[in-house]
Structure 1
Amino acid sequence: MAKLKIVTTPFQADGYPLEREALAGLDVEIVEAPAEESAFLAAAQDADAIYAKGLKITRRIIDGLTKCRVITLGSVGVDSVDIAAATERNIPVTNIPDTFIEEVADHTMTLLLASWRRLPESERLVRDKRWGEGRRFLYQFPRLRGLTLGFISFGRIPRAVSRRAAPFGLRMMAYDPFIEEFAVLDYGVEPAPLNDVLEQSDFICMHAPGTPESDRMMRAEHFARMKKTAIFINTGRGQTVDEAALIEALQQGKIAGAALDVLEKEPPGDNNPLLSMDNVILTAHVASASSRFDPARKRRVGQELALVLKGKWPMSCVNPAALEKSGLARWQPISILRGPNS
């Protein structure tokens, strides 16, 4: 039997020991190719699998693959692969949607609490030797219990956030036209139209997946519907928000603040107004980070690659239509996900 070829980009130099755990028993070589379209395609043309990282897997690359069985991502987001092109070629695309739900939910809740209690401003008062002003500063804000938390999209991560938010006494609402309402109600969350969520919420948590359909989903007209006291939180994808509209809403006092782990452009340019706003908390796209994240991610990549190269369905697939014609054997219920935060 010919050696199986997995092509990736030179992103790590450890020999891929964690990915190889699940690949043990298979005669596999992992080939690193330059993170440039033409050079990558030249190396990957005869690949059995693509381990996608650090490079956009375009239609040109996909159309040039002669025997690829799977494109595997070590991330939740799938926006770095042309999913439509892969589906046309019956190539399943896998991601890892369930390896760091808890971390992102923790980070989301941290941003919610820190922004509501104005933690950066309160700390600055202490460091500026203005101790006596701290209590008076917080007198203008109500307590958390009884306020409303609104979710845009209600996949796995927002569901985990709702479990964390419930003990704080928050009323919760969610807009997600792709989820049956009883699945939302089971979490103590009210399903609602988008405008109701925007108009009634004190916090808006953005969890929409990074898909073409959700590109700049949050625009000026949406921020205009929010309460002037509302705080916007995004730990999902930066491209789901019209950042210029968000900046304008913050500058004009249409909303009170924002707490963001993701931005349209990362890292932000030095002239990005968000960097100098006192009512904005920023973190560097780190919500999923923890000591278990990287090992868990790499092992899951190896598992998905091994399953497909052994002729079986993967555990997670973002283009299930490709599976039906892939010739792979279905061995368990597949986890079919809509995108990054499902």
Structure 2
Amino acid sequence: MEKPYVFITRKVPEETVKPLEDIATVHMWSSEEEPVPPDVLLEEAKHADALYTMLSERIDDSLLEQADNLKVIANLAVGYDNIDISAATKRGIAVCNTPDILSDTTADLTFSLLMATARRIVEAAQYIKNDQWKNWSPLLMAGTDIHHKTIGIVGMGRIGSAVAKRATGFDMEILYHNRSRKREVEDQLGATYASFDQLIQKSDYVVCLAPLTDETRDMFNQETFSKMKSSAIFINASRGQVVDETALYEALSNQVIAAAGLDVFREEPIASDHPLLGLDNVVALPHIGSASLETRYGMANLASRNIAAVLSGRTPEAIVNDSVLTS
């Protein structure tokens, strides 16, 4: 009997795909950094039983309708807005992701980004490298405090809860906005639920960790930034498409808000001449929220286990559209 065929769209550590090689024929794209071309992805999808994908791959209805053998898509991410879930579900294709594993790591990065932006860490390091440090002065590279300030978290999922937990160590007042109340976060961490408008008006730090949906797309726009404190710092570690980048650039350039820390952008990767990168009050990172060795290996192992489970007729550890298991 011929083994199932698995196509992996990016080079991942060989040891993390061992469970798949025992039950399937595995073909891995040769590059760790360069995404698989769309035409190659389509040809592979036409005869694949499983796709192991990254956020950079668009798995839409037109691709899925040609993937006659496809049984499972495993995304190496907690998010899955790159996949047409309804189209996959309609065809009985399981869509899996990698939640939980990356929550603490992404929360670490998010809070690090907040701290680096507030205390002007990147700017100060560059100041020395440019040989600009000639004397000490009272307000040299003075940033703003984090402790005892108000943090407003938009999107109180696993990562948002982990960020809130870290904020307690800085004696911060924690506001949050979410589609539903999170009583456990309120009880355990002292967080307070707020409307979106209340949160952006009161917070010293506005941290976006919301998933990308029709409701959240461009939720941070000119009107939103105009309602924030002029001293507010905006942090985005969710998806670039939740932000109108032109509006953010104008808000930062005109001192409508004080600064921004960004791990994600509308189009990735961004070029070095991106307007936001020309601003001193922006700290920009290349989408490294979950990028620790421990976490990325854990995510890769989970993605492989998810595929192996579906191909073996078992329930995967993490599935987005579990209705396909009963259909």
Q: Could you tell me the TM-score, scaled by structure 2's length? A: 0.89
Distance change in 2, residues 1:114/1:307 (3 Å): same
**For residue 46 of structure 2, what is the aligned residue in structure 1?**
45
For 1:17, give the aligned amino acid. Answer: E
Return the alpha-carbon distance in structure 2 between the equivalents of residues 172 and 279 of structure 1. Answer: 24
Unaligned runs of 5+ in 2: 30-34
SS state of the match for residue 174, structure 2? strand
**For residue 184 of structure 2, what is the aligned residue in structure 1?**
183
Distance change in 2, residues 1:108/1:43 (3 Å): closer
Deviations 1:295-338 (A, max 9, x none): 2122111110111112122111222333331xxxxxxxxxxxxx
Return the alpha-carbon distance in structure 1 between the equivalents of residues 28 and 324 of structure 2. Answer: 26
Return the alpha-carbon distance in structure 1 between the equivalents of residues 198 and 326 of structure 2. Answer: 39
Matches within 5 A, 1:87-236: 87-123=89-125, 127-133=131-137, 135-137=138-140, 143-177=145-179, 179-185=180-186, 186-236=188-238
Partners of 2:101 and 2:299 within 8 A in 1: yes
What's the CA shift for 1:271?
3.2
Return the alpha-carbon distance in structure 1 between the equivalents of residues 126 and 41 of structure 2. Answer: 49
What's the CA shift for 1:214?
2.3
Deviations 1:31-73 (A, max 9, x none): 3579344543333334322222453222112112223221111
Return the alpha-carbon distance in structure 1 between the equivalents of residues 125 and 303 of structure 2. Answer: 41
Partners of 1:125 and 1:131 within 8 A in 2: no
What's the CA shift for 1:7?
2.5
SS state of the match for residue 292, structure 1? helix
Return the alpha-carbon distance in structure 2 between the equivalents of residues 69 and 121 of structure 1. Answer: 48
Partners of 1:184 and 1:191 within 8 A in 2: no
Q: Could you tell me the TM-score, scaled by structure 1's length? A: 0.85
For 1:44, give the aligned amino acid. Answer: A
Return the alpha-carbon distance in structure 2 between the equivalents of residues 220 and 320 of structure 1. Answer: 38
Partners of 1:19 and 1:300 within 8 A in 2: no
What's the CA shift for 1:157?
0.9
Match of 1:75 among 60, 67, 77: 77
Partners of 1:91 and 1:323 within 8 A in 2: no
Structure 1 residue 12 corresponds to structure 2 residue 11: yes
Return the alpha-carbon distance in structure 2 between the equivalents of residues 222 and 13 of structure 1. Answer: 39
Identify which range, 205-214 or 226-235, moves more after superposition: 205-214
**For residue 250 of structure 1, what is the aligned residue in structure 2?**
252
What's the CA shift for 1:226?
0.5
Return the alpha-carbon distance in structure 1 between the equivalents of residues 298 and 274 of structure 2. Answer: 34
What's the CA shift for 1:123?
4.2
Partners of 1:36 and 1:55 within 8 A in 2: no
Distance change in 2, residues 1:24/1:5 (3 Å): closer
**For residue 29 of structure 1, what is the aligned residue in structure 2?**
25
Partners of 2:12 and 2:300 within 8 A in 1: no
**For residue 303 of structure 2, what is the aligned residue in structure 1?**
301
Distance change in 2, residues 1:6/1:171 (3 Å): same
Return the alpha-carbon distance in structure 1 between the equivalents of residues 123 and 11 of structure 2. Answer: 39
Return the alpha-carbon distance in structure 1 between the equivalents of residues 126 and 8 of structure 2. Answer: 45
Return the alpha-carbon distance in structure 2 between the equivalents of residues 260 and 146 of structure 1. Answer: 23
Return the alpha-carbon distance in structure 2 between the equivalents of residues 286 and 142 of structure 1. Answer: 24
SS state of the match for residue 236, structure 1? coil
Distance change in 2, residues 1:180/1:64 (3 Å): same
Return the alpha-carbon distance in structure 1 between the equivalents of residues 12 and 183 of structure 2. Answer: 47
Partners of 2:11 and 2:28 within 8 A in 1: no
Return the alpha-carbon distance in structure 2 between the equivalents of residues 321 and 219 of structure 1. Answer: 36
**For residue 32 of structure 2, what is the aligned residue in structure 1?**
none
**For residue 340 of structure 1, what is the aligned residue in structure 2?**
none
Return the alpha-carbon distance in structure 2 between the equivalents of residues 277 and 246 of structure 1. Answer: 11
Partners of 1:204 and 1:230 within 8 A in 2: yes
What's the CA shift for 1:210?
2.6
Deviations 1:162-187 (A, max 9, x none): 1111011100000001x334133133
What RMSD over aligned residues (CA atoms) do the two structures have, in Å? 2.3
What's the CA shift for 1:243?
0.8
Identify which range, 290-299 or 256-265, moves more after superposition: 290-299
Identity among equivalent positions (%) equals 32
Partners of 1:201 and 1:227 within 8 A in 2: yes
Return the alpha-carbon distance in structure 1 between the equivalents of residues 46 and 114 of structure 2. Answer: 46
**For residue 61 of structure 2, what is the aligned residue in structure 1?**
59
Partners of 1:203 and 1:232 within 8 A in 2: yes
Partners of 2:152 and 2:206 within 8 A in 1: yes
How many residue pairs were aligned? Answer: 318
SS state of the match for residue 231, structure 2? coil
